[in-house]
Structure formats: structure tokens, C-alpha cells
Structure 1
Amino acid sequence: MRCIGVDYGERRVGVAYGDEIGVATPLPAIVKATEAERIDALAELARQRRATAFVFGYPYNMDGSVGFKAKEVDAFIEKLLLKIQLPVHRLDERLTSVEASKSFPKGRNDELRRSGKIDSVAASLILQDYLNQNIALPEYDPYAEVDEENGY
């Protein structure tokens, strides 16, 4: 499992990478002038990382309904899939950008938003949530016998 997490935006696309290790890592945001350029860059990133799936943040309304922004994401996904056909998972992204901005010093949010850093951290939060739900951790038994000879 090699996933590209995506926080879609009209100007910037935040991206992150994660695999079966289970850790999502923010990558530099895709900041391109046109939607076609953003789609091409995202498809190329997926090829370079040999991704097996996309995990898109899906902007449900606060009441859980699908609104205008979610339909924008759906249209973007549809165009992306014409370039590279990978499974797409949609994950509720409500408030991830707010949470992402909390990880940076106050007073720099405008600069950080323009650079796409907040968007990529939001993408990593979305992807981390997906990985947490879909990677089975090994069972831990605190009462298992200890191998005294090997120290574990």
C-alpha cells in the first residue's frame, strides 16, 4: 500500500505520502497556475512514488451533507482519473486545515497558506487518518514470555 494523500484546493493541492509502515509525511504542495497543470503534477507524483491509491480529503458540510466544494473535488478526481487510474478513497476532511494551521507559529498563516505548507500538513492528517483505519497493527501481548537470552 503506497498512498498519496490529497487536500484539494483551487490554487494549491496539498499532498502527503504514506505506505504500509503507517506514517503519513507531508510533501511540497502542488502550486500550479491551471487545473490541468495541477492534475499533471499529481499524476506524475503518483507515478514517481509508485502509488497504489489516492486518499482525498472530502469536504462534507458541517451537517454531513455533500455541498459545492465536495462536487468540485469529485470533478477534479474525475479529470485526474483520465490521466492515471488508481483507486480513490474519500475521507471526511472537516476542520483538517484548521488543525494543520495549529501546528505552525501564530502570525505566519498567510505566508504558510500561500506556500502550501498548511495544505500539505492537512493532506498528511487526512492520509494518517486513513492509514490508521486501514493498517492492522501487530498484536501486542504485554504478558508474553520474555526471551532472557536475547533480551526481548
Structure 2
Amino acid sequence: MLKGGKGTTLAFDFGEARIGVAQGDAEVGLTHPLATVTGNSNEAKFEAIAKLVEEWQPVQFVVGLPTHTDGTEHELTRLSRKFGRRLQGRFNLPVYWVDERMSSLYAESLLDEAQVFGRKQKSVLDQVAAQAILQGFFEGGATEYFNGREEAV
């Protein structure tokens, strides 16, 4: 069963340099890569995200939560949580965090199968990783939910 309710969901594969974005609809279970957000400042990145939010009118966000293979957290985990809290604060939409440990490997294998390599692969890798994160959310749910306070899901 797919999780996520009705409406559009935007998912993010957060990175300090690039943020992959995917869009999907849980009702029909479809996800697709959307964009790679870059910028010289957080403000520039959030301006690009605001344009996507305006265009797609999401009802919620999903953010990949990176951890070590054993599940312990590290610096990028902290930064991803901070990014999710900023999304919620700026757009007032619920944020779900999803374990993303295998999303980049999955994205690479999908792109290899599609025979997308080199620079071409690098330009869409983060988007496809965000798509994998979103598909994981629709199929298995979130590890955590944030709407101004953290709760276990």
C-alpha cells in the first residue's frame, strides 16, 4: 500500500552543493526526477525551491536522511534535518524524513541500466536519488515526521 495521501509530494536528496528534487503522487504511485537545485547561498537555493513549490503546489515534503551504514548519524544527517526544518518553517508543510542509505547506489544502478554515464549521469543523479527516496516513502513510509515538533511515525 502506498503512503502519502492525496496531492503532490516533493522529495529532496539534500547535499551541501546540490539538492536533488523529485515529484510524485501517492494516490497513483508515480514518481519522477524533477530538478537539481544549486546556488551560491542557502537563500538562492530556497528561491529555486520556492519556484518549484509554487509550480507543483505540494501538500508535503520528504527529505532523505543520510546515516552511516549501521544507522548512526553524522554531520550530513544534522544538516539534512536542519534543511527539513527550514522547509517546514518557510512553507508551513509537513516534512517526513526517510532513510536514504541506499538511494544513491540505487540511482546509479538505474542510470547505468538506462546507459546514462559520465557528466550526463552526474547532472541527474541527485534527482534520481530523490525519486528513490520518494518511492521509498510511498512504499514504506517515513522514519520521522516534523510539523514544528518531532514525533515518531
Q: Normalising TM by the smaller chain, what interval? A: 0.7 to 0.9
2:117 paired residue among 108, 113, 124: 108
Number of positions where the alignment pairs a residue of Structure 1 with one of Structure 2: 132
Identity %: 30
Match of 2:12 in 1: 6
Partner of 2:20, secondary structure, is strand
User: Does 2:58 correspond to 1:51?
Assistant: yes
Structure number with higher strand proportion: 2
Q: CA deviation at 1:80?
A: 2.6
Q: What is the root-mean-square deviation of aligned Cα atoms in Å?
A: 1.8
Deviations 1:71-124 (A, max 9, x none): 0111222223332111000000002112111222479345532x2x00000000
**Runs of 4 or more above 4 Å deviation:** none
Match of 2:89 in 1: 82
Once the two structures are overlaid, the 10-residue window that deviates more, 23-32 or 121-130, is 23-32
Native 8 Å contact 1:59 1:92 kept in 2: yes
TM-score (norm 2): 0.78
User: Does 2:42 correspond to 1:28?
Assistant: no
For 2:82 and 2:139, the matched residues in 1 are separated by 27
For 1:76 and 1:4, the matched residues in 2 are separated by 14
1:71 partner letter: R
Q: CA deviation at 1:35?
A: 1.7
For 2:100 and 2:126, the matched residues in 1 are separated by 12
TM-score (norm 1): 0.78
Gaps of 5+ in 1: 135-152
